[in-house]
Structure 1
Amino acid sequence: MTGPRRPDGGCHPRPLDSSGVNERGEDLLQEGARESPGRQLEALVAPLRFAVRDDFAALPRLHGFGELVRGAVTRARSAGAPDTPELLALAREGDAFEARDLAARRQAVGRIAAHLAALVPVPGDLQELARKARIGLTAARAGPAPRSARPAASASPASPASPAAPIGPAAPASPAAPASPAAPVGPPPAPRREATRAPPAAAGAAAVPPSLGPPSAPAPILPDPRTAAERAERRHLLQTPLARVPRVHPAPRALLEERGYLTVEQALEFLPRAWQDRTRVDPIAALRPGAEGTASGQVTYVRTQRMRSGKPMLKVGVSDGAGKLELVFFNPPPWRARQFAAGESILATGKVTEGFGGARQMTQPEVEKLSAGDSANVGRVVPVYPGPADYQHPALRKLMKRLCDEYAGQAVDDLPAAVRSRRGLAGRAEALRAIHFPEPGADLAAAAARGSAPFRRLIFEELFFLQLALARKRQGVRQESGIAFAAGPDALARAVSRLPFTLTAAQARALGEIAADMGRPEPMNRLLQGDVGSGKTAVAFAAAMLAVGSGYQVALMAPTEILAAQHARTLSGWLEGSGVEVALVTSQARGKGQKAVRQAVAEGRARIAVGTHALLEEDVSFERLGLVVVDEQHRFGVLQRAGLIGKGRRPDVLVMTATPIPRTLALAFYGDLDQSKITELPPGRTPVETAVFGDSQRRKAYQVARGELDAGRQVYVVYPLVAESEKSDLADATSGAAEIAKLFAPHPVGLLHGKLKAEEKDAVMGRFRSGELRILVATTVIEVGVDVPNASVMIVEHAERFGLSQLHQLRGRVGRGAAKSHCLLIAHFKKAGDEARERLEAMAATQDGFEIARVDLKLRGPGELLGTRQSGQRFLEVADLYRDEAILDEAREEAFALVAGDPELARPEHAAAAEALAERWAQRLSLAQVG
């Protein structure tokens, strides 16, 4: 099974044809993958080329690549690859890949290409990328990289000297591998077959062309594997890269790869968005104008003609012997006319119209050539996938049908059998097959709404493992040794005695729950929710005083310097004369002052440290950190929160949010945390009247603002941009401030945005707070934390461009005094879509932050509310927290019960779930944990 000897003693493999089979009929793609370490690493070439194409344009869509790198290295080692420095470096890059931001991933891709090029041959585009990356790697090392161990004659002239000998043979490129993973302009060419004429069908009778034959029988679904080795073998098979599956046409494969579906398992999780029932193929004479129809017949003519506009139009005649149909394609690409040949059997699906003389027509139909044995596109319910064009679907369906038939039956059922039985859930393999290719008579409307039984199975599985991870984390936290603070009634009374007001009933209830946690010896992990202005800071202050009273320090981390400074100022005012020092730690205010502040924190003289991300810096240390408070928690990443927690010996953690979290989102992503809510506003707070104005109605909004200014109150005006941009026609704060100053003269106007220096921000906010400035023009830098009771009007320009959470936060900046307040949303409706209009209507309809968050969840998904919108990672692929609340409750009940009875998942019946949690689900669930 080997070819001629190479100079280094290895063997060249025999050339493969496009099907992956050599001239002796040997399936070398599979056999070579078992034998050759190099083949294992070559699996990284296709996703690398996908990532770097068009100047890394596709990199954000490359999901799970770090895991793919690690898997390739592991399989190469298993196949005998030595642990060379390059292989070890490749493994390290894979370990860290998913944790990096987009810019760092781009650099990492270059390094991965460099390490890979040192081990196996790579194409020219990756060679150039590797060369550039190697320059940086060489500069970072002491001395030049070692020379390649390969003879110079065997190196490609375009390839630079590699720093290590390659692991595998320099295999010639398979003819099946495309030069680029991009899909071709036209549909994949079909092999020529002798046309088979379909016999005439009686009018009104359902017909499936007999030449197609019955649907192909899939491989049987295998029973649950009993041993870890069997499960590992089947999981390994499902991780086969699509590029290694024999006889896969490059066009449909590229459709999947360019969407980030690189392996068989990932491809099976590319779920349809709709289905077409093709169990009935209507006679042409039975087609009814105005209705969707599917008919088959033979091509009778192919004509290209010009429309009045001069653009081409293609007409294709089809006949089944009893009726005639004309297919019409406007402005067709050149390949479309070549798609048809007289006498060929085709299947056409589309809306039927009535043409000239009453003839039946279909305009821009989906057309497929019929071939013997084609069970993917006709005679069954067929899937319609999101994204590909109509003409790309036939080949894609054939690939997906093959993957379902040959691989889906190997799927390991990670859900425990007892859970599946209790909840009446199908097996994973059965669900995947039924989703891609439903049986005739299946409820397609329910499937389209993801409410069918097969979808319910996948939704339950996704939510179950999310809850299982949270349940195990919660169990682990409770088993850790924490701090038992003095938090009895006397200590609690002393903690609240410094507040200049009485807590509301809701604040007192939340503080009681926090104090009970702090008094226990296990670490507290609690989420405090409260609408804007509900008094979360007062509750956090009382919790901080419990920690300080027990001899510990407190760290309070806020997302912006403005909010951090306000917290420090508020806490210092409440603690005046108490002897408790509050330190404000910032990044930008360097110098002797900051050095002294950090020293006070390190020595324990400052008992409360308030700051932004600066608290995470290495030179910020604590003498005895006991409580970590994170305000606006969705603004911080998991690693940032963990970094602050790591500065103490497992301190208690209180995370706060003024963005109310819907129940389903709280259960799904904060299910490991105990939760407290402040559900009422302090006395004296008045509801904010919200109104939406079109751009042409802004004078009415300005009249409201002018009236409030004349009454002695103050106004915010918020813009989406800092300065004018050539790439956007949005209004900006800088230009807006000049315009506002003219319109509202003589009232003084100030400008505040994130590009100002810290001292400039402080100066502007100080003047506005004191009343010297009557109008503050700003960006969303004021979204959180700004508290000026005399401000009674919030004007938001281009309100259609803001999310609901942002708008609700901005509205919370007013209504903080006794005067009636107004939130005036000015929208450019000509540029606003339906979603934007729904957001603005929700804002005007309710003051309830939890209802607003629920609408936000429906419109924008969990990423916006969690602050992970730009992470490039979707937490939930199938489940929808707005839709699937009942399934979430079931999954949570099962997961928490399982962990309560088997905390380590050590029982044999839970082994598959434990493996899946540690391997298949670990990466996706990592960002759902709050540290």
Structure 2
Amino acid sequence: MTRGIQELSGIGAKAAERLSALGITTVYDLQSYFPFRYEDHSIRRIQEVDHEEKVTLSGTVHSEPELRFFRKQSSRLTVRVLVDGLLVQAIFFNQPYLKKQIELGQVISFHGKLDKNRLAVNGAKLIGKTEGQGLDPVYSLRGDIKMFMLRKWIKQSFDEFPDDIEEILPYQLMQTYKLMDRREAFYRLHFPEKEKAFLQAKRRMIYEELLLFQLKMQVFRKKQRESTHGVTKTLHKDEVQAFIASLPFPLTQAQDRVINEILEDLEGKHRMSRLLQGDVGSGKTVVAAVALYASVLAGYQGALMVPTEILAEQHVESLTELFANTPVRIGFLSGSSKTKERRETLAKLEAHEIDVLIGTHALIQEPVIFANLGLVITDEQHRFGVGQRRVLKEKGLEPDVLFMTATPIPRTLAISAFGDMDVSTIDEMPKGRKVVETHWAKQDMLPRVLTFIEKHLKKGNQAYVITPLIEESEKLDVQNAIELHQQLQMVLTDWNVGLMHGRLHATEKDEVMKQFAQNEVQVLVSTTVVEVGVNVPNATVMVIYDADRFGLAQLHQLRGRVGRGSDQAYCILLADPKSENGKERMQIMTETSNGFELSERDLELRGPGDFFGVKQSGLPELKVADIVEDYRILEIARDDATKLVKSTAFWETDDYRGIREELARQGAFLQDRLD
């Protein structure tokens, strides 16, 4: 695997430099540089082809090719071809040399995209005699490397060094799943001549990729557990149950279930690392309160970190109410805390006169010292960088850690992105909570929508109006927050219309949200910065402009800002979607209010990178597998990885040497993964 790329004949220093830009420095790198997609060059009958579908057709040249040149040395070659009884106009852009290759009466095959009238093929390319029989691999390129050059070098690498690809999977797994040999699988992915062999190769590599990723997760988890024993807490379960019984509302079965999972972790000898996910309004805060109460009774302090000051203040208010008849002492710390107040809070914290400290990222500043930190909870955990979460965790002696999120994460992504954590899910809503009515309106219905907003304002309620952009954009024809704010001020003259967007300073955002929460502002025009957290029970209307530009998960999060009080709430999606995808999203939003169901549909429509944001997602960079399409194999790989890591044979026998070496090559044993 370490044979340098220049050992391949014909690769000199210049070619090696070009290849290094693609991350290819060894022969093995070249052999494992798989295509990112395939073009289907199987010849089709034109009657079977859909509008704007890329397709390979074959027919007889019916007219002499016509070549025209334009400015900037561009050209267009047009030729009519009789395909399955229909005349097709094939247009070849910037390929003037084809004029000499195409002759009247000749049978040719060509690949391109049919336009609306199903007759002209735009952007076509002529298919050679050796092609047109199946899949054509397409590679990601950079610099001045051409596709034909890369394909030639890959073929050479297999001819000259056929043994550079070693088998890494143990015989047992190969037999169990009847997997193709690794070298053969690599070759068939590059040269998919036979469909059956190609599908077997793909299946083998999908399993290998997902197994390696899950093994990395499980190895990391095992090493973490071995190196961090955590603190075993002695819980006063009777008092915890008495606290639960004293709550002014009954817990749902889902809340009971996740509370038991968390309490079991707190008592265990290993440090808790758990993700608590639940839909907006499912009662995560109460679960956090029970966990904090149990930890405090056991003699430890708790920390609750949230992304914004106003959200922190709301948590202080709700937890103060929940802990009213208990000995739990609550402290608050934020960036805007006054010097004297801050000094007093820090002194009380260090003296263990504060049991639960609630605040923003100010909690991770250097002077903040806990006397005995035992539980760390981060709310809306995806809003904090991994480094910030880690600093807070390190302020205690291996404290238990609970991450909370109101973004429902599909099961597939939970297995992938959080495979090194335990996941608790609140998948049940409290009884009596009204479902937000959701309606899809076209843009020409805006006057009726404004009348609807006014009707609710007259009742004393409030409204959100959400727009995708801050300022006007030439590229996107969308309503922007600043212009929309000005328009609504002129229309809704009897009410105060506020404005919030991402370019405001944090203190300005907090001030606008406070005004809205206190009903000093009745209509809040905002970008998606209101997506997280703040509770305004009086807000009953959510209007989302250009709703088709948002994903389902984001639309659901925005919808969750209303319906937090006793009055019926409404969400109106203003959109004239041109794409089928956009129409489907609008329909799905009006049909279901279940966040987990929506998240699964969103994942199918958008893919994992767009759902999470690739950089913060923790998702693997997969070459062959797709965690959405291949979720069944993902679950099998996770189960296999869990069993392997727990077995002695995996760590010690020769059967698993290849896979251990591959994991070591990928850095799985370096302990450098962040939480």
What TM-score comes out, normalization by structure 2 length? 0.84
> Secondary structure of the residue that 2:409 maps to in structure 1?
coil
* Preserved CA contact (<8 Å) 2:649 2:656: no
Shift in Å at residue 873 of structure 1?
7.8
Q: Are positions 1:350 and 2:103 aligned together?
A: no
Which of residues 854, 861, 864 is equivalent to 2:607?
861
Deviations 1:803-840 (A, max 9, x none): 222211111111112222111111253xx544333333
Q: Counterpart amino acid of 1:461?
A: E
**Partner of residue 695 from structure 1, selected from 417, 429, 443:** 443
1:528 equivalent among 248, 253, 276: 276
Deviation of 1:393 after TM superposition, in Å, equals 4.3
In structure 1, what is the equivalent of residue 180 of structure 2?
426
Q: Deviations over 1:775-817 (max 9, x none)?
A: 2222222211111122111111222222222211111111112
Match of 2:223 among 446, 470, 476: 476
Give the C-alpha shift of residue 774 in structure 1. Answer: 2.0
TM-aligned CA deviation for residue 274 of structure 1: 2.3
Deviation for aligned residue 1:611: 2.6
The aligned counterpart of 2:167 is 413
Structure 1 Cα separation of the partners of residues 282 and 556 of structure 2:
13
Which residues in structure 2 correspond to 1:330-409 (within 5 Å)?
330-332=92-94, 336-337=96-97, 349-350=109-110, 365-367=124-126, 377=130, 383-385=136-138, 393-407=147-161, 409=163
CA distance in 1, matches of 2:101, 2:670: 49
Rounded Cα–Cα distance in structure 2 between residues aligned with 1:613 and 1:727: 36
Give the match's secondary structure for 1:618: coil
2:231–2:271: 8 Å Cα contact kept in structure 1? yes
Cα distance between partner residues in 1 of 2:392 and 2:441: 44
Give the letter aligned to residue 2 of structure 2. H
| CA gap 1:420/1:858 in 2 versus in 1, 3 angstroms | same
Aligned partner of 1:802 in structure 2 is: 550
Q: Does residue 365 of structure 2 align to residue 612 of structure 1?
A: no
| Helix, strand or coil at the partner of 2:652 | coil
Which residue of the other structure, out of 206, 210, 213, is the alignment partner of 1:459? 206
Could you report, residue by residue, the CA deviation over 1:549-587 in whole angstroms, capped at 9, with x for unpaired residues? Answer: 111111212233332232223223333464533233333
Distance in 1 separating the partners of 2:334 and 2:89: 69
- Report if aligned partners of 1:529, 1:678 keep a CA contact under 8 Å in 2: yes
1:766 and 2:485 correspond: no
Whole-angstrom distance in 1 between the partners of 2:340 and 2:437:
47
Q: CA deviation at 1:528?
A: 1.5
Q: Which sections of structure 2, spanning at least 5 residues, go unmatched?
A: 45-53, 82-86, 114-119
Cα pair 1:484 1:519 within 8 Å, conserved: yes
> For residue 273 of structure 1, what is the aligned residue in structure 2?
37
Query: Aligned match of 1:679 in 427, 445, 448?
Result: 427
Who is 1:123 aligned against?
none
Query: For 1:692 and 1:327, how far apart are their aligned partners in 2?
Result: 42
Alignment map for 1:836-847 (pairs within 5 Å): 836-847=582-593
Is contact 2:43–2:57 with CA below 8 Å preserved after alignment?
A: no
State the secondary structure of the residue aligned to 1:630. strand
Q: CA deviation at 1:426?
A: 1.5
| In structure 2, distance between residues paired with 1:781 and 1:311 | 46
Q: Which residue of 1 aligns with 2:373?
A: 625
Looking at structure 1, the residues matched to 182 and 588 of structure 2 have their Cα atoms a distance apart, in angstroms, of: 39
Query: 2-side partners of 1:695 and 1:532: how far apart?
Result: 28
Q: CA deviation at 1:352?
A: 11
TM-score, normalised to structure 1, is 0.62
Q: Which has the larger radius of gyration?
A: 1
Note if contact 1:588-1:758 (Cα within 8 Å) is conserved in structure 2.
Answer: no
Using the TM superposition, give the Cα deviation of residue 626 of structure 1 relative to its aligned residue in structure 2, in angstroms. Answer: 0.6
Q: Do the aligned residues in 2 keep the contact of 1:875 with 1:924 (CA within 8 Å)?
A: no
Q: 1:714 to 1:394 in 2, by over 3 A?
A: same
Native 8 Å contact 2:537 2:565 kept in 1: yes
State the Cα deviation string for residues 888-930 of structure 1 (Å, max 9, x = none): 1211121111111128723222222222223226499976x6x
Residue type matched to 2:489 in 1?
A
Q: Distance in 2 between matches of 1:342 and 1:771?
A: 74
Corresponding position: 1:640 with 2:391: no
Q: Is the 8 A contact 2:67 2:99 kept in 1?
A: no
Decide whether the 8 Å contact of 1:314 with 1:337 is kept in 2.
Answer: no
How far apart, in 2, do the equivalents of 1:296 and 1:921 lie? 56
Q: What are the residue-to-residue correspondences of 1:707-746 with 2, within 5 Å?
A: 707-724=455-472, 729-746=477-494
Matched, 1:911 2:657: yes
Distance 1:702 1:251, change over 3 A: farther
Query: What SS is found at the alignment partner of 1:584?
Result: strand
CA distance in 2, matches of 1:249, 1:328: 40
Aligned residue in 2 for 1:437: 191
Q: Is the 8 A contact 1:495 1:543 kept in 2?
A: no
CA 1:351–1:892 in 2, change beyond 3 Å: closer, same or farther? closer
The Cα of 1:762 is off from its aligned counterpart by 3.8
Hey, what does 1:582 align to over in structure 2?
A: 330
Letter in 2 for 1:269: Y
Following superposition, the deviation at residue 867 of structure 1 comes to: 4.5
2:306: which partner in 1? 558
AA partner of residue 495 (structure 2):
H
Aligned residues: percent identity?
A: 36
Equivalent residue in structure 2 for 1:548, among 282, 285, 296: 296
Secondary structure at the residue paired with 1:383?
A: strand
Q: Do the aligned partners of residues 760 and 383 (structure 1) sit closer, same or farther apart at CA in structure 2, a change above 3 Å counting?
A: closer
Determine if the alignment matches structure 1 residue 514 to structure 2 residue 262.
yes
Per-residue deviation, 1:619: 2.9
The answer to whether the Cα contact below 8 Å between 2:436 and 2:571 also exists between their aligned partners in 1 is: yes
Residue deviations 1:453-486, cap 9 Å, x none?
2111111111112221222233334444222223
CA drift of 1:846 comes to 1.0
Q: Write the distance in 1 (CA, Å) between the matches of 2:41 and 2:419.
A: 41
Residue 266 of structure 1 and its aligned partner are, at CA, apart by 4.1
* 2:2 aligned residue: 236
C-alpha distance in 2 between matches for 1:707 and 1:327: 58
- Once the two structures are superposed, the pairs formed by residues 139-178 of structure 1 within 5 Å of their partners are none
Instruction: Please tell me whether residue 492 in structure 1 is matched to residue 251 in structure 2.
Output: no
- AA at the equivalent of 2:138: Y
- The number of residue pairs the alignment matches comes to 647
Residue deviations 1:689-728 (CA, integer Å, cap 9, x gap) = 1112222222232232222222222111122234445665
1:799 and 1:825 in contact (8 A); partners too: yes
Tell whether the 8 Å contact from 1:304 to 1:312 is kept in structure 2 after alignment: yes
CA gap of 1:686–1:438, structure 2 versus 1, over 3 A, is same
Paired with 2:568 and 2:121, the residues of 1 have a C-alpha distance of 61
Between 1 and 2, higher relative CO (CA 8 Å, sep ≥ 6) is seen in 2
Amino acid at match of 2:33: E
Q: Distance in 2 between matches of 1:619 and 1:588?
A: 15
Secondary structure at 1:905 match in 2: helix
Aligned partners of 2:92 and 2:124 also within 8 Å? no
Secondary structure of 2:408's match? coil
TM-fit CA distance, 1:536: 0.3
Would the alpha carbon gap of residues 926 and 455 (structure 1) be closer, same or farther in structure 2, given more than 3 Å must change? Answer: farther
1:610 aligns to what SS in structure 2?
strand
Q: Is the 8 A contact 2:36 2:623 kept in 1?
A: no
Change in Cα spacing, 1:737 to 1:924, as seen in structure 2 (3 Å) is: farther
Letter in 1 for 2:97: A
Deviates more, 1:499-508 or 1:513-522: 499-508
* Residue 716 to residue 920, structure 1, CA distance change in 2 (3 Å): same
Instruction: Name the SS for the 1:483 alignment partner.
Output: coil
Match of 1:366, as an amino acid? K
Q: Residue 274 and residue 867 in structure 1: after superposition, are their counterparts in 2 closer, same or farther (change >3 A)?
A: closer
**Alpha-carbon distance between aligned partners in 2 of 1:326 and 1:861, rounded to the nearest angstrom:** 36
Whether the 8 Å contact between 1:662 and 1:854 is mirrored in structure 2 is yes
Contact 2:112 2:123 in 1 (8 A): no
* Cα drift, residue 264 of structure 1: 4.1
